Chains A and B, each alone.
Chain A
């Protein structure tokens, strides 16, 4: 058995060191060279700006060339247009801006963009064939890239990963169609026919026919906005494993609520862990009351400890028998402990999926709660606390104390690369637990 433990720990350690030293790189998918796409050039641009974004439209071809989302400081398009009208791409347009509309005219052809709330753009055009170049897959980092998909909705959402787009992928009919990266998406909110999607120059490109009067969404993947537009859009946001999804939703929306009060997601996480602590504190309080009663039966237990000092299992059983007789129990139970697990998983999911945490700073050195602590200060603090805990804790046998210490160190390796926000949650939860113990001991158990 001991040898098994040793092998396991070695394997575990090597595995985690490996993933830390050699993080998986996004696959570099080469696009087919036989496909040639001409990207229309644009010399003069029309600017339109509102509270949320800044748009640049090319006079030639009348396509949207640049889309800068102010809140997230992200350019969604790069050098490619979001889409072009196949039969209008060489036309030179005259323009007029009135209110939230940009009207482009060239002889009998016209394109009207109406920039509405919730990142929706209404389009009325004299052409119904479009080619979309998708959103910029190289948005800042590889993380965005890894999650770029071609998506379409027909009865349910279908996500097509880049490797399946090396040869053209056909969809006869779709209610919605678009492309997404990790944090942003472009979705045409009208039905489209004869669609074809493929990969070119690392971009997801799709084309098809639609009603010349249509609307599209270009903006963050935000379930709150999606809900307002169309319920069917909501599943584009990933709530995670279905058992934990309700927890993710609670966390997501309560974080937004808390953020409107404190304006810093680091403090939101600390407040959240305090809330969880307070919710469970009546339960912990119960076990402290029990501890007070326990003092009275301590002599009995000490007697047992002498009798069964060579048989820890029997000792544990006998102690519990006395607890049962005296109707006290100092343990708070497994349920309060296990309930942490879904909270933990859901928090992880929200941290890595929600755009709210993208580059969300805390204080001092924590500049992005969704990625790892650059100096590993939080995980090291956390490990110190858990080490202390496993050293202080009376355990059944020496072996398990040793494993506890080793596992604390193994967990350090895991936590090193975890999102800083998650480690912050666990750290502040542990600190609140210590504080809670202190308060109970000092104020509630006095003079018992």
Chain B
């Protein structure tokens, strides 16, 4: 299950991300963060943390370097 979700995110990174404008305000990018977060905290908490990261990734936030 974990690998399937990470697979989907990797798929997104590889194929979909290149056609979208560069937009992430953080390092690592939201998709990398999601993968690291799932690997570190498990599916449920990892996904939630990742979603929270995407919500934070907006022009009002400062951005910068942020690891899960």
**Does B4 lie at the interface of the complex (its beta carbon under 8 Å from any beta carbon of A)?**
no
B residues 1-49 in Cβ contact with A at 8 Å:
14-27, 29-30
CB of B18 within 8 A of CB of A390, answer yes
CB of B14 within 8 A of CB of A336, answer no
**Does A279 lie at the interface of the complex (its beta carbon under 8 Å from any beta carbon of B)?**
no
Give CA–CA (A111, B14) in the complex, Å: 67
Do most interface residues of chain A lie in helix, strand or loop, or is the interface mixed?
helix
**What would be 22 A-B contacts, judged by CB atoms less than 8 Å apart?**
A283-B60, A284-B59, A286-B60, A290-B59, A317-B65, A320-B65, A324-B63, A324-B64, A324-B65, A331-B25, A331-B63, A332-B58, A333-B59, A334-B54, A334-B57, A337-B21, A337-B23, A386-B19, A390-B19, A394-B22, A400-B17, A401-B18
A residues 321-336 in Cβ contact with B at 8 Å:
321, 323-324, 327, 329, 331-336
**Does A359 lie at the interface of the complex (its beta carbon under 8 Å from any beta carbon of B)?**
no
CB of B58 within 8 A of CB of A336, answer yes
Shortest beta-carbon distance from A324 to chain B in Å: 3
Chain A residues, Cβ within 8 Å of B59: 283-284, 286-287, 290, 329, 332-333, 336
Give CA–CA (A42, B38) in the complex, Å: 69
Chain A interface size range: 35 or more
Candidate in A329, A336, A395 with the most chain B CB atoms within 10 angstroms: A329
**Does A87 lie at the interface of the complex (its beta carbon under 8 Å from any beta carbon of B)?**
no
Chain B residues, Cβ within 8 Å of A403: 14-15, 18
Shortest beta-carbon distance from A7 to chain B in Å: 12
Give CA–CA (A237, B30) in the complex, Å: 36
CB of B15 within 8 A of CB of A8, answer yes
Candidate in A335, A336, A386 with the most chain B CB atoms within 10 angstroms: A335
**Does A393 lie at the interface of the complex (its beta carbon under 8 Å from any beta carbon of B)?**
yes
CB of B27 within 8 A of CB of A317, answer yes
**Does A407 lie at the interface of the complex (its beta carbon under 8 Å from any beta carbon of B)?**
yes
